[in-house]
Every structure is written in C-alpha cells, then in structure tokens.
C-alpha cells in the first residue's frame, strides 16, 4: 500500500473511531480554511445516523490528480447502506480535500434542465502564467456576438473549476445555464486545487493571491475572445468568491460589473465563530464545546491589534498563517465595492447554516442600497444561494444530487443580458 493509500486508510479508521482531531491534524492549509474537526464530526455523525454503524472498510483505490495530488477513495460498509470517503492527498501526506460520497460511490453529475448542450460548445484554456497558471474552460454560445461574458469565482477552499462537491457541480450548472442564455462563461481551477504543494509552501499566501491574479487574467482573456463584447465582461463570485469580487474589480478597471452570490461581508474570523457554533448545536457534546472554545479563542487573536506576521499559525483559525489574516482584516468588501462604483447584482439565499442572512446582506445593503445600478434579490428558500429547499445546511447535505436554483439562474442571465 502506497503512502497516500495508507494515509487514507488511517483517516477512515480515525473517522470510524470518532478521533476527529486526528483527521484535522492532517489538513493542509487550503482545507483548514473551510473545515475543522467539528465540521468533519457533524458530517460523519450525520451519515452514520442515516446508514448505521460501520461494518466494514474496503481497500483504498488511488488515482493521480496531476503532479501534486492523489485522489484516494475508501469504501465503507454500514448496517443500512454504504458510503465512500474520498480524499485528495498531497506529496507531504496532507489532505487537500475530504468528502463523503453516498451510496458507496458519488452519483454522476447530470446537466440541469435549463441547460441545452446543443446551444454552446466548450474549449480548454490556460488562465494566468508562470508556475501557478491553472487550467480553465470557456463555454461559448453558438450565437452571433457581441455577447456579454462572465468570469466565475468559487467559494473558499481548494475547488476545481466546477466547484465540485460530491455529485454536484454548481459552477458548471451556472456555466451551462448561462451559455444556453447567450452568455460566454469562463471558469477555472483555483490555484489551491491545481497547485496545493506550492501554495502550502508559501506562508505569505493570502486571499488576494488566491483570487485576484487569476481572476484578472481570466477577465482579460475573456475580453479578447471573438464574439464577446469587451465592454460587458463581468465577474460573478459565490461565497468567498463574492467577497473577493470587488477586489478583482479594483485591480482590473475593465470589469463591467459584479454578481455577488451569498457573498461574505462579515469578517471571516467572526463568521467562523458563527458557523462553528451552529454546527456544534447540531451535535452537542464535549467535542463540540472544545471546537467552539478554540475558534472563539483563535478569532480573538485575529481581532487583537497585536496580531503580527510572527503570530503562530497554530494560534489562529484553521491554522492559516498570520499574513493571511492580516490581509483579510484589512479588506472590507463593501467599502471596496462602493469605491469601484460598478453595477452590481447582489443575490442572497435565506438559508445559510440556519442563521440569519442579515450578518452579510445588511452590510451590502448599508453601503450600496439606494444606488440605481445595484439590484438586490433574496431567494428565501435557498441554501447558501445554490440549492433550493435542501433541508438542514450541513456539509453532508451537499452530497445529495441537486442543481443551482433555476430562479437564481434566471436572475443572473437577465441581469447580464440587460
């Protein structure tokens, strides 16, 4: 058994035995940004509650994901069904991705009903240059131009160009749906997905580094594409991608406007406390109390005026280094959006970890309400803006096959084509 398979087998044993802190200790920085022992505990216990206790653990199956990563799948049998633990393991033996696929294997992605594959074609491209260049996909309508174009930015974490989560590919839903409506779309793998080892080796890597250079390169590539109206190239960001979108517009003045989907406006360290408390409430117990206490303590270090580049990463949320938090603390997405003065469509789901959306939406509205070029839409039943009526918002919930809400897709298509 190779190193990656051995590590994956050990992770499954830790999950089976409830040793979630051991799993978190193997997280690489990109995964620490979006998950913790507490979130893993919630996802695992949710699956076991539905499928019953573990009865068997199968042999790991590995496949390469480029030069830096190996995907390892471990089948797990339970009393009332099966699941597969799927991990991305880097050369250092750290986890860059971890998910639970239902039914033993992940269900295949199928096109949403609003997408017509005959209405467009796709072409592979390279976004950016140098060692952190990433692969991407252009989705091109089979209609005459000039057409609007949009660059898609996924949320926090080492996502691929489709924002794949279990059987779901919400950015691919958007790309195919928008192209069916006559919009050219460019989406790309994040550097944290394509080059995890290089990113992990750079302690000064920030959210700006994660999003801005590639997004700017994507905007410029799209503006030069035949059939695209260079004056109508937009940036659409979901979750942390929405938080980063104003920063992209500040760096690239040619951006025609912004679509913010469930965009973070609350400071990230405060949101981390909010979400951890909610997840802990789903499965209360000593482990949950420890997780909440730890994130509260770490968030306080971020807010401390004495935070410096020398502050140990172990003392900060998700194990991310101090330069990351100093950059985040200095960035106000709403103030940046006001300063760039671009037209905006702000979309918010009503279900976001079962807490009020006002922590984020009220901040966008406080800075931007009253501007005639800003449109706000709230889809009250949507879970973190992507999926309608999915039930409790937990990490395990994203393993159910579903598509981006067609009402959300319609809002975006109409605004981009206006």
**How many helical (H) and strand (E) elements, i.e. helices and strands, does the chain have?**
15, 14
Sign, CA torsion 141/147/148/153: positive
Bridge partner list, 186: 138, 151
Catalytic residues: 239, 352, 384
Nearest alpha-carbon partner for 345 in 249, 236, 183, 239: 236
Contact at 8 Å (CB) between 19 and 12?
Answer: no
Name the H helices within 80-203: 170-180, 191-194, 196-200
Are 120 and 140 in contact, with CB atoms under 8 Å apart? Answer: yes
SS3 content of the chain, % helix, strand, coil (to 5): 40, 25, 35
Backbone angles phi, psi at 356, to 5 degrees: -60, 140
**Torsion over CA: 257, 261, 265, 269 (sign):** negative
Q: Which residues of 209-221 are buried (b: 16+ CB within 10 A; e: fewer)?
A: bbbbbbbbbbbeb
């Amino acid at each position: 058994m190779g190193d990656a398979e051995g590590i994956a087998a050990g992770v499954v044993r830790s999950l089976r035995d409830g040793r979630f802190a051991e799993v978190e200790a193997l997280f690489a920085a990109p995964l620490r940004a979006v998950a913790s022992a507490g979130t893993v505990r919630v996802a695992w216990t949710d699956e076991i509650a539905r499928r019953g206790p573990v009865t068997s653990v199968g042999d790991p199956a590995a496949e390469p994901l480029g030069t830096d990563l190996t995907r390892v799948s471990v089948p797990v049998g339970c009393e009332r069904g099966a699941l597969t633990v799927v991990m991305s393991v880097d050369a250092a033996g750290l986890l860059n991705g971890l998910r639970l696929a239902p039914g033993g294997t992940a269900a295949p992605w199928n096109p949403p009903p609003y997408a017509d594959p005959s209405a467009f074609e796709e072409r592979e491209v390279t976004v950016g240059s140098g060692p952190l260049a990433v692969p991407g996909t252009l989705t091109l309508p089979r209609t005459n131009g000039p057409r609007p174009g949009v660059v898609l930015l996924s949320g926090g974490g080492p996502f691929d160009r489709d924002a794949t989560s279990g059987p779901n590919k919400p950015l691919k839903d958007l790309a195919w749906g928008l192209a069916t409506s006559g919009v050219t779309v460019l989406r790309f793998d994040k550097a944290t997905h394509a080059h995890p080892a290089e990113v992990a080796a750079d302690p000064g890597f920030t959210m700006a580094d994660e999003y801005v250079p590639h997004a700017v390169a994507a905007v410029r590539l799209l503006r030069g594409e035949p059939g695209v109206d260079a004056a109508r190239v937009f940036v659409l960001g979901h979750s942390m991608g929405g938080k980063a979108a104003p920063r992209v517009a500040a760096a690239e003045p040619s951006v025609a406007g912004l679509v913010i989907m469930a965009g973070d406006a609350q400071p990230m360290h405060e949101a981390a406390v909010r979400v951890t408390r909610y997840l802990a409430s789903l499965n209360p117990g000593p482990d949950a109390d420890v997780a909440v206490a730890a994130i509260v303590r770490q968030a306080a270090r971020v807010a401390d005026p004495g935070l410096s580049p020398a502050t140990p990463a172990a003392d900060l949320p998700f194990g991310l280094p101090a330069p990351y938090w100093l950059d985040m603390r200095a960035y106000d997405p709403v103030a940046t959006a006001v300063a760039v003065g671009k037209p905006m469509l702000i979309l918010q789901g009503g279900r976001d970890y079962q807490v009020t959306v006002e922590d984020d939406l009220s901040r966008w509205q406080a800075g931007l309400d009253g501007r005639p070029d800003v449109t706000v839409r709230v889809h009250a039943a949507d879970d973190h803006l992507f999926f309608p009526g999915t039930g409790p918002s937990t990490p395990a919930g994203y393993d159910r096959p579903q598509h981006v809400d067609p009402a959300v897709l319609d809002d975006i298509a109409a605004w981009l084509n206006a």
